[in-house]
Copies of this chain bind each other. A is one copy, B any other.
Amino acid sequence: MNLQFYMPTKVVMGKDCVRQNAVQLTALGTKALIVTGAHSAKANGSMDDVIAALRENGKQYAVYDKVMANPTIACCYDGAKVAKEEKADFIIAIGGGSPMDAAKGIALLACQDIAEENLFSGKYGENVLPMAFIPTTAGTGSEVTPYSVLINHKVKSKTSISSPLLFPKLSLLDAKYTMNMPMHTTVNTAIDALSHAVEGMLTVRATSVTDILAAESIRCISGRFEALKSGKLTYEDREQLLYGSMLAGMVIAHTGTTAVHAMGYSLTYFKNVDHGRANGLLLAEFLRFISCSRPDLTNAVLKPMGYSSIDQFSHTLNELLEKKELLTKEEVEQYTAISERAKSIPNSKVVPEKNDIRNIYLKSFNL
């Protein structure tokens, strides 16, 4: 048995946990840079709670709310400039994967001069601004990973900065912030989280520990399939999705992802398909590819869902994703050529070759 487990982020989950852990949250520094998107953190109450926590503990703050969906490298440099100008000594990120991933880049670049060509090198100094994360979607798991996934125009895809420096010190998870998430975001992010757990189990880096966390995550998320289909989610449903998403984040923090993510990035980059949806569109056919040589693996993935066949899973995904995007065969060729070069391709227990990648695209889009 070879195993590594490293999860330095302190996770606190519970209703009103931001206010209840205000001292801990604000103990990371004297002036926070709040990193977020333009709208949701203001609308769902998380921003108010964070600002109240900062004020009651006498801490200053500045706000950087320019993070777009699928954040760019430029956004990280821009945010880091603001962090330095504002003399912020810690970061509080609020939002979905985009603000959290951007915040990691900002925290790193605020402390280290890293040229853009070295940004994905994995070779950095030791300094980073301490980070606290407050996820307001239930999908990314970024609150417990060492990854910052950014749009990288050079490779026409998304690329990860990966470093233990990027683990937040603290993540505060309160499902109340996710209660009014739009339904398509709820579905897409839930599928993203599910994809993390499923892919984690299929990687060469999966361990006994990540497998039990992944199985628990799959159980939590798939237990809400009916609620997701109905569009009616209770607080408890939301909480289970947030919990499942965090567990799946712990999984990929150790395992990384597979071809599903690599292939999905093209759908996001070229077709603007939401990241979670992109994974969901490809996941069932990737599982079918794995099952040809390793049906034991796909059974292990399906079991916590209570499914006995990939068809059942595929049917559920189709119901959740509804009408699929149209893809041409030329696009498939282009995306295949890009994604076959991704680092996550050789990470799965059954490594897809170029033709396998092409076929997964073709079958996923009924071509």
Contacts and interface: CB of A to CB of B under 8 A. Distances in A.
Contact of A1 (B5, B10, B14, B213): B14
A296 to B, nearest CB: 18
- The binding surface of chain A is classed by DSSP as mixed
A4 B8 contact: no
Contacts of A239: 1
A5 B14 contact: no
Contacts of A293: none
A12 interface: yes
18 contacts: A1-B13, A1-B240, A2-B14, A2-B15, A3-B11, A3-B243, A4-B13, A5-B7, A6-B10, A7-B7, A8-B8, A8-B10, A208-B216, A208-B243, A209-B213, A209-B247, A212-B212, A212-B216
A8 B170 CA distance: 11
Given A208-B216, A208-B243, A213-B212, A3 B7 contact: no
Given A212-B213, A212-B216, A6 B11 contact: yes
Interface in A71-94: none
A12 B4 contact: yes
A237 B213 CA distance: 23
Contacts of A6: 10-11
B2 A13 contact: yes
A216 B212 CA distance: 8
Interface in A1-49: 1-8, 10-15
A12 B8 contact: no
B3 A10 contact: no
Given A208-B216, A212-B213, A13 B7 contact: no
B5 A11 contact: yes
A14 B7 contact: no
A13 B4 CA distance: 6
Interface in A216-239: 216, 239
A209 B219 CA distance: 13
Nearest to A173: B3
A130 B5 CA distance: 18
Contacts of A247: 209
A239 B7 CA distance: 22
Given A3-B11, A3-B243, A4-B12, 20 more contacts: A1-B13, A1-B240, A1-B243, A2-B13, A3-B12, A3-B14, A4-B10, A4-B11, A4-B13, A5-B7, A6-B10, A7-B7, A7-B8, A8-B8, A8-B10, A209-B213, A209-B216, A209-B247, A212-B213, A212-B216
Nearest to A164: B10
